[in-house]
Structure formats: C-alpha cells, structure tokens
Amino acid sequence: MYRCIARLMVPAALLVLLSLPQQTAAFQGGSPFTPSSHAIRRTRIRSKISWPIYASDKDGSADDITPSLNSNWEEDSPSSDKQQDGGFLQSIRQWFNSDEGREDVKTYFVSLLIALIIRFLIVEPRYIPSLSMYPTFEVGDQLAVEKVTKRLKPFYRNEVVVFNPPQSFREIVTGYGDPGKAKEALIKRIVAVENDQVEVKGGKLYVNGDMQEEPWVTEDAAYKFGPVTVPTGCVLVLGDNRNNSLDGHIWGFLPAENVIGRAVFVYWPPWRVGNSGMY
C-alpha cells in the first residue's frame, strides 16, 4: 500500500515543481556549532584508546592485562569508507536490477514525461509583476494559462491573453535601455480582433462605432487613439490600467501567432482564487 501511495505522490510532486512560476533561492550556510572534521577525528581517536587495567597477584604485584595503547591508536581506515561506498553502490545496482526497481524507474519516468507535457503543451503558470492589468490582477498574483484552445478556436474580444511581445515592443523597450525585458512575456486584454475598427476618444473605447462597456478598467483613458482597422491575423490588446500600461495603443497590433495562451484563473494567493474580472 505504501508503494502505491508513493507512486501517486511522485506525479503530484513533479507537477508542483514544474508549476512554480518563479525560482526560489536556497540559502546555504554552515552552523557555528557544527564540529570540525579535526574535532570529530580526535573524538574518534579518544574513543579507541584502551586504558590499562591492572590485576593484582597474590603477592600484591600488578600486571597489565590490557593490550598496548599503540595497538588501538589509529584513525578510521580509508578502506572502511571505500567499503561503505561500495556497499551503497552495490545496493543501488541491485535495486536497478530488481523487478521492483525497474518498475519504479518506469513509473518515475512516465510521471516526469506527463508533467512536462502538461507544463509545455496544456497549461502553465504565470506571475504578475506589475499593475498594468490592475484591478483584474495585482502584483504577486499567480495564474494558470491554458495553451490548447488557441489552436482550436479564434480569439474574441475581452479575453485576457499571455503573449510574446512583437518586434515593435522590443524596439521601444530596448530604446529605453532595458533590453533584458524586451523578450519577457506580457499579459493584456484583447479589445479588438481582425477587421475591427478601433478608436479611443473621450476616455472611452469604441469598436466598429459602438462604445464598449468595460467594468474592469481602472479609469477612463487619458489619450486619444485611432481610428484604425486591425489587420488580418492580428489583434489589438490594451491593459486594464489604461493610463499605466505599455500596450497596443503605443506599439501597435499583436500578431495572433504570438499568443501563448488564455488566462484561465488565479490560483494564488488563496484569497484571490478565481477568475473574477477576466471576462
């Protein structure tokens, strides 16, 4: 039963490891109370000393009945460490050669393969680093992004997508002296799809002449944009925090092929779990 539980835990653990949206640092440091190797060696030497024990004869004389001190005055033999290492390696070989070991290795390999497929082809985690999509997302939110439906259906207005930035965005960011962020994935909301006519005036968004109701935006836009027509194979994306977002009204249209996936729901922190405001 314990082996079955362990095998069920392996895929779950792999999924958790592969779902981490950011790297975590592991601090290393030696404890000030950890004894040094010399201290450990001296302790071992003292423990091997056999102090002489005397036995009295009938005439009162004492004879030493213990072996000489020099007979035990030696450190751990390196050969014993090699024997221990050899025993450990031998047990590993035996485990690999056993039916149980081969079955476990197969289980771990299949679990890792499934986790990788899920991570790179089906769904992946993303971390929100800025307030360009506030109030829909806050800094520190972690959300799931599904990557399947982009191949099955077209994109629609008001969908939140994660995408690789187009070349025009990269040129702008590089021009500001921050080339490291020029290739980072972005998250915005699709406000218009191909062949839509878009305009921002009076702080409001108009698509094909109709003013759009957008309850998720922070405030009215403080800029004028358009009118423009979205080219075939592209979408126009804007941030919900309209006046604090480097988005399509600055760098233009987004090729649909750049989209990584659709945002599905926030899974962290716990008090923000759900998809409120995404649709």
Positions annotated as catalytic residues are 132
Question: Count of residues for the chain?
Answer: 279
Q: Which two tokens stand for residue 7?
A: 């095998």
User: Among residues 237, 196, 200, which one has the least CA distance to residue 219?
Assistant: 200
Name the region of 108 (left: φ>0; alpha: ψ -120 to 50; beta: rest).
Answer: alpha
User: Among residues 118, 92, 116, which one has the least CA distance to residue 105?
Assistant: 92
Measured at the CA of 148, the angle between CA 144 and CA 151, to 5 degrees, comes to: 140
DSSP secondary structure of 153-175: S---TT-EEEEPPPHHHHHHHHH
